[in-house]
Amino acid sequence: MKTLHIVDGESTGETLRRARPGREHEILCWRDALYTGPVPSGLTLRRLSRVRSQFWTNGKSNRELDKRDAGLLRYRQFDQVVVWFGAGGTLCQLSLAQVLAWFYQQKTAPYSLSWVSRHAGVLPLEQMLAAYGKRKPLHATHLREAAHTWRAFCASSPRALARRLRLKTSCLPGHTKAIRRMLQEYPCVGAYRDLNAGYCN
C-alpha cells in the first residue's frame, strides 16, 4: 500500500526510513513546537504556517513550512495515512490535534487513517515496527474531538481549553493529561485552584 507517514520529528523519520524503504512509503516530518509562540485562532493551515514561520525565523521568512504543508495536501494520493505522535507528551498531542483537526475540516477523508501512539523517535527499529503493527484506526469521532481541542487551544482565553477537562472520557489516549499540563502553564495558574471547574478566576 502507498502510505504517507506523518511523524513527530527527524529522529522518527530517519528510523522509519530504514524500516520502511521504498517509494510506496513517504515520510512527512511535522516540525513545530506549538506550545511556544503565537497560535492565533481562525486561520487556515497556510496562514497559520506563515505566522509560525515568521515566529521561528524572527520575521526573516514566512515560508519555512510550505514544503511540509504541500506534503500534507497530497494525502489523497495515498492508500493510507499513518500519524506517529506519542500519547504521553504535550508537544505530540498538540501536533496530533492540529493534524487531525485539519483532516476533520477536509471534505474528503483519507482512505485509511491510523495512529501510532508511541514516541517513536526513542525506539529501536524492532520496537518501532512492533508499534506500527499495533497502530489504531482513527475515525470521525477521534477527528471531531481533536478539532474541538485544537480550537480551544487556539482561543485567546484558557476557558475553552479548561472546559475540555469536563469530558469524562477521551477517545484519544493522553489527550486529557496534555490539556491539564497546558493549563498549568497559564499565568493564572495560581488563582486557578480547581482545573475541573472549567474556568479561570
Closest CA to 94 of 103, 85, 84: 85
CA distance linking residue 54 with residue 62, whole number of Å: 5
In 39-130 the beta strands, taken as DSSP E runs, fall at 80-84, 113-116
Axis crossing angle, helix 140-154 with helix 175-183, rounded to the nearest 10: 0
Per-domain residue ranges for the chain? Answer: 3-156
CA distance linking residue 26 with residue 6, whole number of Å: 9
CA distance linking residue 50 with residue 63, whole number of Å: 6
Digit-by-digit pLDDT tens for the chain (201 residues) are: 899 999 988 888 888 887 766 678 999 999 899 999 999 999 999 999 999 999 999 999 999 999 999 999 999 999 999 999 999 889 999 999 999 999 999 988 899 999 999 888 788 888 988 999 999 999 999 999 999 999 999 998 888 888 888 776 789 988 888 888 888 887 754 444 444 444 343
Residue 198 CA: distances (Å) to CA of 130, 143, 154 = 39, 22, 16
3-156 CATH choice from 1.10.1240.10, 3.40.50.620, 3.40.50.720, 3.40.50.670: 3.40.50.670
pTM attached to this predicted model: 0.89
